[in-house]
Structure 1
Amino acid sequence: MLFNTSHKNKAYTTKSIEVLGNAFSLLEKIKRGGVGSSRLIIKELSTKLQPINAQTIDDNFANIELRPKGIIIHFTNRLDRYSWIIPYYRLVVYRTKTFTIHANGHFIKFNKDKNYLANKKFINKMMDSKIEFLDLDYYDG
């Protein structure tokens, strides 16, 4: 679910809490060592995620926020901010020449550069949270 969150968006707030749960408390954020990534450079967006007024002149950046039942990817285009809500049971991650997040037939590809390397620890934390939430013990090698 993609929302324009440039301004306060009641539908986004309601849906994000309903699907992903409330944001972590300050104490929980400290215990987890943070719940947000630093910025990642977007290489490509699937057509359904591209804003109507998309500009490809500048690099677009995104960051990922952890929630108890999923993630939110926040990204910008021009002066607009968009938030893509992804529950863990729909989250699929590919690490090939690019770092790609898929859900519901849509995707965001990120460059694998110094920003990706700085976020590797966060990405591993995100995948561990998914496994913990979905109780996927059989993935432990």
Structure 2
Amino acid sequence: MLINVSYNNPERREKINAEVGKPFSLIERFKMKGIGSNKLFITSTSIEIHNLLILDKYTNTCNIEMRPDGILVTFRSLLETYALVIPYYKLKLYKGKAEEYSIYRDQYFIKVKADSKSTHNFMKKVLDFKAKHWSSSSHP
């Protein structure tokens, strides 16, 4: 689900929490050695996201936040912040060329440049967490 998260809206927050779980606690974040990615440069996107990103002239970047049941990929367009909410059972993460990762959920996708070791390590952390804590047999 692609959603505008610019404003504090309890209904929207509950919808996101239902999809990917509530944010990790501070203690859990320390134990996991962080739950967020560095700034990732977007190289390509699906048409719905592309139509939002072309509204301004800034460099297109995004961040990924891990949640217990999925990830949030957030990016900005104009003065608005959008999130692509992806539960683990719908997450498809591919490593393309050595310098690019593709993140898919249904018809949406975002391709990001992976030009640092920390990006590769974070993507590995996401895949490891998904494999360890999420089995498709116990969830939808």
TM over 0.5, shorter chain? yes
Q: Given residue 54 of structure 2, which amino acid in structure 1 is its aligned partner?
A: A
Q: Name the % identity.
A: 34
String of CA shifts for 1:29-78, please: whole Å, max 9, x gaps.
Answer: 00000111111001111012234473363211100000000000011122
In structure 1, the residue matched to 2:93 is 93
In structure 1, the residue matched to 2:43 is 43
SS of 2:127's equivalent in the other structure is helix
Gaps of 5+ in 1: 137-141
Contact 2:6 2:81 in 1 (8 A): yes
In structure 2, the residue matched to 1:4 is 4
Two-structure CA RMSD over aligned residues (Å): 1.8
Q: Shift of the alpha carbon at 1:133?
A: 2.4
SS of 1:119's equivalent in the other structure is helix
The total of aligned residue pairs comes to 134
Q: Per the alignment, do residues 133 and 10 of structure 1 end up closer, same or farther by CA in structure 2, a change over 3 Å counting?
A: same
Contact 2:45 2:109 in 1 (8 A): yes
Counting only pairs closer than 5 Å after superposition, residues 87-126 of structure 1 correspond to structure 2 as: 87-97=87-97, 98-114=100-116, 117-126=117-126
Gaps of 5+ in 2: none
In structure 2, the residue matched to 1:67 is 67
